[in-house]
Amino acid sequence: MSLGSIETQVQPCDKYGIEHFAQDNPKLFLELVEYLNPRDAEILLCYAYLQKRPTDLSILFGKAGHRAEEDLHKAAHKLAGLIEFGPEPPLERLQTILGAEQFAKRDFAACIWQYARCRDFAEMARLCGQPGLRAAMMRLCKKLHAMNSRDEGLLAGWLLWLVDGSNPNGKGWMKRKRCGRENKLGPTVFRTFKQEIGIKSNAHDGYLLNPRATKHSPSGKGGMHAVKIQRKMKFFLRVKNG
């Protein structure tokens, strides 16, 4: 039994109609968004409620336009699968779509259903008698996605949500350290012809904007400068924009 309904629409940004679903079912939308990883949740919230499109998202998250659009499609695909199947769909629903698909001479649908309950690939390797379930699920996701069918496509999105970011050697999700790429909000490097670009705050903080030496200007003086916004300035910009 699905938690909601998805109608395929011919729209370049949102073929699953996530924006309309968020407006019609706000409570269910927010409930399911919590199952997504933080970045996917931010993208969908910005898209559905703040009316941000790929160009705006590329600026907000510091990515190229086509990358931002890919991330939006990926997040919408996961959420569409969650809307249709829920976090733990019944085994019969998976078997109806997957049919006779097998993994390690076992019912593939049963293996996926069991993993959705335990979220532990090490435990699944012990139960199935061999590892490789995660890789097999990723291959199945691509296979279903290539069928261009509604149920198979939504199941591919649900599998993508289930596998993407999961811990291949243990239980739960991979623990990734947040790096500068994930923390970055918008571009941090700009170009300027202005020579006096140092903005001195005080003796301890130094300059918030510093010139970077280039091959045309090794000393960082004269000509075009590459200006990098430091952490304090990024925080200042976030507070101002907030």
pLDDT for the residue numbered 198: 45
What is the Cα–Cα distance from 184 to 70, expressed in whole angstroms?
Answer: 18
Which helix (DSSP H) or strand (DSSP E) does residue 191 occupy? strand 189-192
Q: How much is the pTM? A: 0.66
For the chain, which residues make up each domain, given as ranges?
18-85, 91-163, 188-241
Distances in Å between the Cα of 103 and the Cα atoms of 56, 58, 83, 99, 111 are 42, 39, 26, 12, 8
Asked if 83 contacts 32 with a C-beta cutoff of 8 angstroms, the reply is yes
Q: Which residue has the higher pLDDT, 61 or 1?
A: 61
CA–CA separation, 111 and 101 (whole Å): 11
Please, which pLDDT band fits residue 46 given cuts at 50, 70 and 90?
very high
Which residues in 99-132 are b (16+ Cβ under 10 Å) and which e? eebebbeebbbbbbbbbbeeebbeebbeebeebe
Question: CB of 41 within 8 A of CB of 50?
Answer: no
Q: What is the average pLDDT across 30-51? A: 92
The mean pLDDT of the chain is 75
The distance of Cα 201 from the centroid of its chain, to the nearest Å, equals: 37
Is the separation of the CB atoms in 128 and 104 below 8 Å?
Answer: yes
Task: Quote the CA–CA distance of 174 and 166 in Å, as a whole number.
Answer: 6
The pLDDT of residue 7 is: 37
Residue 219's pLDDT band (cuts 50, 70, 90): low
More confident residue, 61 or 208: 61
Distance CA 211, CA 200 (A): 13
Between residues 117 and 228, the one the model is more confident about: 117
Please write the tens of the pLDDT for every residue from 59-74: 888 888 888 999 999 9
Whether the pLDDT of residue 182 is over 80: the answer is: no
Q: What is the mean pLDDT of residues 127-156?
A: 93
Q: Is the pLDDT of residue 54 over 70?
A: yes
Question: Does domain 18-85 sit in CATH 1.10.3210?
Answer: no
Task: Look at phi and psi of residue 226 and say left if phi exceeds 0, alpha if psi is from -120 to 50, else beta.
Answer: beta
pLDDT at site 96: 95
Measured CA angle at 190 (ends 189, 193), to 5 deg:
140
Contact 142, 190 (CB under 8 A): no
pLDDT at 137 over 50: yes
> Other CB atoms closer than 10 Å to residue 10's CB: what's the count?
5
State the average pLDDT over residues 144-169.
Answer: 90
Task: State the sign of the Cα–Cα–Cα–Cα dihedral 158, 160, 165, 169.
Answer: positive
Q: What's the pLDDT at 225? A: 47
Is the distance from CB of 230 to CB of 210 less than 8 angstroms? yes
On the CB side of 70, CA atoms within 13 Å amount to: 5
The closest alpha carbon to 140, from 159, 120, 113, belongs to: 159
Cβ contact 199:209 at 8 Å: yes
| Statement: residue 141 has pLDDT above 60 | yes
